[in-house]
Chains A and B, each alone.
Chain A
């Protein structure tokens, strides 16, 4: 029998050569630090971002893509660490709904991320060592405020579109709420105006798995030769289940066995679904920082546009000029259609210009990342309509 604990390999943490990532990076908040929601001023800080396509002369064709919890700025190119294809190549590229010949696509690694933007792995100027848990707790609004500084830096007054799925969709809603005059259209996909109790609960399991790993060491592991790989891998395994659907798991794996014809009467990965999850956990550890995972999940948990507006979500968008396209998927139980519908009701209450499509797909929450033809058709149609009104050729 092989080792029963298939994810507990003696691996080190992710090897990310921050200084040599493709794309761009900019130092922001040097003159005026960004005052975070927790009250701490942050600055100067770095935002790493990637762009595709060209900004037109009127600067009217910029699209900000907001990435999800474990995403990054490498939307439409091979990932510099894993060499896998970009996470949204389905949607971004030549002839795709976000056509790089027509639009200027920007995607920035979020604040507290681990792909070049300042986060818990970055050097704390006060100590000369990585922040670890001394990094201030970040909110979705902090991420968006940092992106706004980037957009200002790029000289773009009004984004043609802000788009993203899951946590990306939360950022989209925060953009529309915080900077309505700087957003022409907004596409929150598989998102919600507030993180639900169930979602906070799943995040808590992930965080506890990381913090229960002795190698986590109170978040101070950067100078050690051990890494909380087991904890982070388990966190990823739990989260990954929530991104799928029961029917997709059944269809892909069923009860099929992994490389064997009968069960082995042990705790090795007998079932294919176990093997698949372990693989997801292990590969995730190679590219993601455990502390970043804690910080970003926390930011999602804190997100609640409703509570911030006297418990009336509509008050987040008074007289909004933004054109919205809200999208949900039938099999998504993490951010179910009911959440999108609540958002649409709120937008109706301010007579906003809103489209709302629920798409039949059995891929669960992750459907927004998959090849779903109806998602393509919806986005292409919505963007074409918006571009016509914005006067983009």
Chain B
């Protein structure tokens, strides 16, 4: 699927990106941190007429985004968010990137500073398959959402849904909404009292704001 397909409404977005896109209000100002190939930005631009910008660490990704008319710069979530003024965006999005940042706490804090809302999606290390991998086979888990062997993974700060919620509390970030993504791609709301959420969700998507 190409960005052109996404723009024309033909292709389907990755499941977690679709969940994120559904959280974004039309016509808003969006910063997508770690925007990769620009799929989410292209979708938001075409379907929700947002004023979208992207930051991407890979120069190849950036050049491809810009060549598709998206406003993207080369940059690093860990170091470059501090440049932006407070409340510059309606949403600051970080999809499947938190676990690869050096300082997730600071990144999330910066996100809720420069955006009125932040949206974070990440793979849940508490997912039952991940737990079983380690428990029974004694090997570092390699799953669909965590598709790297231990020696080549860029993921240095993996966490469970519960870990993430605890960190948000610690840095004074309020969770407005939590959505789980099951292995099937099925999305469901997170109930704070849900007993098995942290076992069953392969990924989590959180809508955050300053407390």
CB 8 Å contact bits of B56-72 with A (1 = contact, 0 = none): 00010011011111111
Taking CB atoms, residues of chain B closer than 8 Å to A345 are 80, 83
Residue of A nearest to B51 (CB): A353
Q: Once bound together, how far apart are the Cα atoms of A353 and B62, in whole Å? A: 15
Is there a chain B Cβ closer than 8 Å to A377's Cβ?
yes
Q: A348-B80, A348-B83 are in contact. Are A388 and B69 (CB under 8 A)?
A: yes
Interface residues of A in 202-226 (CB under 8 A from B): none
**Given A377-B63, A382-B66, CB of A354 within 8 Å of CB of B85:** no
Bound complex: CA of A388 vs CA of B7, how far in Å? Answer: 13
Q: Which residues of A contact B84 (CB under 8 A)?
A: 348-349, 351
Interface check A323, CB cutoff 8 A: yes
Contact partners of B73 in chain A: CB under 8 A: 326, 344, 348, 354-356
Q: Chain A's nearest CB lies how many Å from the CB of B47?
A: 14
Count class of interface residues, chain A: 20 to 34
> How many B residues, CB 8 Å from partner?
23
Q: Which of B53, B66, B83 contacts A325 (CB 8 A)?
A: B66
Contacts of B85 on A, CB cut-off 8 Å? Answer: 349-351
Supposing A345-B83, A349-B83, A357-B62 touch, asked if A381 and B51 sit within 8 A by C-beta, the answer is no
B80 touches A355 (CB 8 A): no
Determine if B74 and A358 form an interchain contact, defined as CB atoms under 8 angstroms apart.
Answer: yes
Interface: A378 (CB within 8 A):
yes
A358 & B59 in contact (Cβ 8 Å cutoff): yes
Instruction: Type the 1/0 row for A376-390, where 1 means its CB is closer than 8 Å to any CB of B.
Output: 011011101110100
Answer yes or no: A374 CB below 8 A from chain B CBs.
yes
> Does A359 sit at the interface, judged by CB under 8 A?
yes
Whether a CB of chain A sits under 8 angstroms from the CB of B88 is yes
A359 near B71 with CB under 8 A, answer no
Task: Give complex CA distance A53, B168 in Å.
Answer: 56
CA distance A344 to B83 in the complex (A): 10
Neighbouring B residues of A386 by C-beta, 8 Å: 69
In the assembled complex, the Cα of A60 lies from the Cα of B83 at a distance in Å of 33
Q: Say yes or no: B59 contacts A355, CB within 8 Å.
A: no
Beta-carbon contact of B53 and A353 below 8 Å: yes
Contacts A348-B83, A348-B84, A385-B69 known; A359 to B63 CB distance under 8 Å? yes
Add 9 more A-B contacts to A348-B73, A349-B83, A386-B69 (CB < 8 A).
A323-B71, A326-B73, A344-B73, A351-B88, A356-B72, A358-B74, A377-B63, A382-B69, A388-B69
